[in-house]
Structure 1
């Protein structure tokens, strides 16, 4: 084959191949035209993972932009109780502010476990976990503070932040500082009060609904029991002396996630895995309320 010529047998096969190709090309063209003109026969349909069916594709409900976003369009304000820097500003947080029915301190330092884990650190950690879940579900989440303020905000400003956001729900995250041996979670609901700038008449019912959903989901997520040392043992407590509730014009509750002064509760509150469950429980309670 040094001269580049084919042996006789190869020449015969080459000629036969040319004849076969000449016969097949028109048939292939016809087949290609039929396939491309049939419904669902384009390559783009198969590129999306189709099974090769020739049925025309139709948009499904799950393909909408809000798919998997049950809280799209909802605004939630999370109020992490206290502030890690409050202890450095005693005079500022001690000043009195108007809560409608009377006057109270701007804020406090909060409590801590016997080992020194501050309530303010706990509330921020849990609040951030709640935010992650809610944002993944499409909600717009705002904080009253994110450890980025020198102190506070004061309780009246905390309420105003929720009001100005026109929040669909506000949850203030706390942990209690009761006596050792007193355990469990409880949710504080606004009492119907009216005085000065305080008027909770429009929010008491929806706030109760929010509180009930919150308590139920928190107990499911964490295994905690409703606190027996406060209220009637239901885990729900109604109060009219908290500025954050009195001055709210949108549904709002406080959740006391456990007692930092009890060794068993403190062991949970200081456990990151438990705080993750707590955050998810709070987020699910809010989700249930907003989807009612």
Structure 2
């Protein structure tokens, strides 16, 4: 399952996306958020959606069945707990959440998040880690971006506050593919060629992980 973060209609529906929903381990969070954007106004939700479609196409070319958490980039949500529930459906091998970050402009690079706890147990956590490492290595080698200079360690950032990871019962990883406020990262994110490179890297990681299971 590919989970392109946010959605194009979120900003116009603050009541719907602001309501609190379960986020795992007793936490509650807002249903969803609007995401960030580049300084030139290219929105994260559009970047996430475009990359997800490109990854889906690459995977389908290798006969991988792919589902998405949303059908378009014009809707609202779904909420983060609903996205997790879609990923936990029977037959889903893994969940990859696709995002970009919005941080001070001096910071650049990608980071990959995995849950710092083990919501799905030790075996699922081990598979999640292998998927996270595969994503890290593929993005470093093929996305045109370096590892994050401002967050995490060497491109890894374990977290305990992301509902998509906290609620996952299958292997899951969460990508923050560059800082949209950084001009260098934004140049890659805003370019169709840059998004294609990113998508090909993500797809390679998924295919390698599937082959090694």
Instruction: Flag whether TM exceeds 0.5 (same fold).
Output: yes
1:108 aligns with 2:28: no
Report the counterpart of residue 16 of structure 1 in structure 2: none
8 Å Cα contact 2:144-2:197 kept in structure 1: no
Kindly state the Cα deviation for residue 186 of structure 1 after the two structures are TM-superposed.
Answer: 0.7
**1:91 aligns to what?**
15
Q: 1:228 Cα deviation (Å)?
A: 2.4
Q: What's the offset of the Cα at 1:201?
A: 4.2
Find the residue that maps to 2:181 and give its secondary structure.
Answer: coil
User: Structure 2: any 5+ residue segments left out of the alignment?
Assistant: none
Q: Which residue of 2 aligns with 1:222?
A: 143
Q: Is the 8 A contact 1:190 1:200 kept in 2?
A: no
Q: How far, CA to CA, are the matches of 1:218 and 1:137 in structure 2?
A: 20
- Matches of 1:150 and 1:123 in 2, distance apart? 14
Aligned partners of 1:243 and 1:95: how far apart in 2?
14
**Among candidates 180, 197, 201, match of residue 277 of structure 1:** 197
The match for 1:208 among 129, 149, 161 is 129
Give the TM-score of the pair, scaled to structure 1.
0.70
Picking from 215, 234, 246, the partner of 2:166 is 246
The one of 264, 267, 274 aligned to 2:184: 264
- In structure 1, the residue corresponding to 2:40 is in which secondary structure? coil
Q: Secondary structure at the match of 1:179?
A: coil
Matched-pair contact (CA < 8 Å) for 1:80–1:146: no
Scaled by the length of structure 2, what TM-score is found? 0.95
Is 1:147 the counterpart of 2:66? The answer is no
Query: Could you tell me how far apart the structure 1 residues matched to 2:46 and 2:121 are?
Result: 30
Task: State how far apart, in whole Å, the 2-side matches of 1:247 and 1:204 are.
Answer: 12
Q: CA-to-partner distance for each residue in 1:1-42, whole Å, 9 max, x for gaps?
A: xxxxxxxxxxxxxxxxxxxxxxxxxxxxxxxxxxxxxxxxxx
- Which ranges in structure 1 are unaligned for 5 or more consecutive residues? 1-76
How big is the alpha-carbon RMSD for the aligned residues of Structure 1 and Structure 2?
1.3
Contact 2:120 2:170 in 1 (8 A): no
- State the alpha-carbon separation in 2 of the partners of residues 171 and 223 from structure 1: 20
Q: Give the CA deviation at 1:148.
A: 6.1
In structure 2, what is the Cα distance between the partners aligned to 1:155 and 1:98?
Answer: 8
Runs (4+) of structure 1 moved beyond 6 Å? none
Q: Which has the higher contact order (CA 8 A, sep 6+)?
A: 2
CA distance in 1, matches of 2:148, 2:155: 5
